[in-house]
Amino acid sequence: MDLAAFRALEPLCWRAPSAHNTQPWRLRYEPGAIHVGWHPAHTLPAADPTGRDLRLSLGAFVETCLIVAADAGLRLEYVADHDERHHRVGRLRPAWCRYPTPFRTTDVWERRTDRGHFAGGPARDTLAAVDAVARQTGGGVRAVPYPDRLGALLRAADRRLYADPAVVAELRRWLRLDPTHPDYHTDGLNDHCLALSRTTATGLRAALAAYPVLRPLGLPRLLAAADDPLARGGAVLVLVGPADLDRPGQVEFGRVLLRVWLALHTTGLAAHPLSQLIDIATTRTALGALLDVAPDRLLHVARVGRPTRPAPRSARRLG
Ligand SMILES: Cc1cc2nc3c(=O)[nH]c(=O)nc-3n(C[C@H](O)[C@H](O)[C@H](O)COP(=O)(O)O)c2cc1C
């Protein structure tokens, strides 16, 4: 297989999801292989200090590359070769056969994070199907059994995040709340994708600009109370991994995460991640207790349901 043929497909692969839409991936072409790595400037050291979401995003990117290549008739496989020092997770290389996947490039193209209203959650058989996807790699997908307890946990997690100046500074760096922002169409989280009205986006921008002054006056509590995603419907699902998952294992589970999201997408459902629930130690422990699962096995949390209207398409860098 001529690896250069993959270059033309790259813009489709950029549709992979990533935390804060930083699009951390980098491809480096070498004779016989394409190295998959990340750019340190596109990581989230404050919000994602362990690098869990970075590795999930890179895994989602790898899976996206394999799906897009297979759909174009290219025979490509992925070999993990994790190297923190060189910011590399592995390589894509020619294979004997096409990557076996039920998904198509159109699924990659059409899938979106949806932070809007959901008409209902996943049916029992859909839940069983996505759980089966994760079980193939020793994980599972679980629905949170006590949704009523989640509201308080979510507010507590948001309060803790908004109280951390480093997390807020990092969030501001990736927020694009005004269409005149130079990177509005390139990366990050824009007002449209966050489902914010013009007034709310302007208010949030002003509040975050005044953060150093307003933080001691209770801004974190106010911001945490300002949004209630659980009121917009759906069920909350958790991706659970095996105990003691190492870094390459987390990349592998990023591939699982993408397969789960695409499986949901093909049944007309969408996901709205709520990572803050597992970013904060206390809410992570509480969520683990609700699920009767060790907290360190919780890899990803999302509200999942049937969108009531199409979500906006998020921005991407072109190269
Ligand atoms: C590992 C991971 C964690 C994420 N966490 C959150 C989150 O906590 N809240 C949220 O609203 N979106 C979250 N997202 C969704 C990203 O913001 C989204 O994928 C990105 O903006 C690109 O948009 P798209 O998924 O519509 O292509 C997460 C995505 C990934 C891959």
The CA radius of gyration of the chain, in Å to the nearest whole number, is 19
Judge whether 71 lies within some domain: yes
Give one DSSP letter per residue of 184-207, joined into a string: TTTSSEETTTTT--HHHHHHHHHH
Which positions of the chain have pLDDT values less than 50?
Answer: none
Rounded to the nearest 5 percent, the helix, strand and coil shares of the chain are 45, 20, 35
Burial class of 124 by CB neighbour count within 10 A (0 to 12, 13 to 18, 19+)? exposed
| 3-state class (DSSP) for residue 311 | coil
Judge whether 248 lies within some domain: no
* pLDDT at site 147: 82
* Number of domains present in the structure of the chain: 1
- How far is ligand 1, taken at its centre, from the CA of residue 313, in Å? 12
- How far is ligand 1, taken at its centre, from the CA of residue 21, in Å? 6
Judge whether 21 lies within some domain: yes
Cβ pair 143, 125 in contact under 8 A:
no
Q: Which residue range is the domain that position 103 belongs to?
A: 3-110
Residue 188 near ligand 1, beta carbon < 6 Å:
no
Which of 44, 113, 189 best tests ligand 1's pocket when mutated (most atoms within 8 Å of CB)? 113
Judge whether 65 lies within some domain: yes
- How far is ligand 1, taken at its centre, from the CA of residue 314, in Å? 10
Region of residue 87 (left: phi > 0; alpha: psi -120 to 50; beta: else)? left
Residue 23 near ligand 1, beta carbon < 6 Å:
no
Which of 15, 21, 251, 264 best tests ligand 1's pocket when mutated (most atoms within 8 Å of CB)? 21
Q: Which residues contact 241 (CB under 8 A, 6 or more apart)?
A: 138, 139, 249, 250, 253, 297, 299
Cβ pair 194, 115 in contact under 8 A:
yes
* pLDDT at site 184: 97
Q: Which CATH number is 14's domain given?
A: 3.40.109.10
Judge whether 91 lies within some domain: yes
Residue 308, both tokens? 């009531």
Compute φ and ψ for 25, nearest 5 degrees.
-70, 150
DSSP collapsed to 3 states, 279-296: HCHHHHHHHHHHHCCCHH
* Interstrand relation of 235-240 and 298-305 (parallel, antiparallel or unpaired): antiparallel
Judge whether 57 lies within some domain: yes
- How far is ligand 1, taken at its centre, from the CA of residue 289, in Å? 25
Residue 112 near ligand 1, beta carbon < 6 Å:
yes
Question: Using CA positions, which residue lies closest to atom 12 of ligand 1?
Answer: 273
pLDDT for 214-248, tens place per residue? 999 898 998 888 899 999 999 999 999 999 999 99
Q: Which residues contact 207 (CB under 8 A, 6 or more apart)?
A: 214, 219, 222, 223
* pLDDT at site 4: 87
pLDDT for 235-282, tens place per residue? 999 999 999 999 999 999 999 999 999 999 999 999 999 999 999 999
Residue 273 near ligand 1, beta carbon < 6 Å:
yes
The neighbour count for residue 22, using CB atoms within 10 Å, is: 24
* pLDDT at site 81: 97
Question: Using CA positions, which residue lies closest to atom 14 of ligand 1?
Answer: 19
Compute φ and ψ for 159, nearest 5 degrees.
-60, -45
* Interstrand relation of 189-190 and 175-176 (parallel, antiparallel or unpaired): parallel
Amino acid at 118: F
Residue 190 near ligand 1, beta carbon < 6 Å:
no
* pLDDT at site 319: 67
Q: Which stretch of DSSP H or E encloses residue 18?
A: none
CA distance 57 to 76: 20
Which of 20, 108, 260 best tests ligand 1's pocket when mutated (most atoms within 8 Å of CB)? 20
Round the average pLDDT of the chain to a whole number and report it: 96
Judge whether 255 lies within some domain: no
Judge whether 261 lies within some domain: no
Question: Using CA positions, which residue lies closest to atom 28 of ligand 1?
Answer: 19
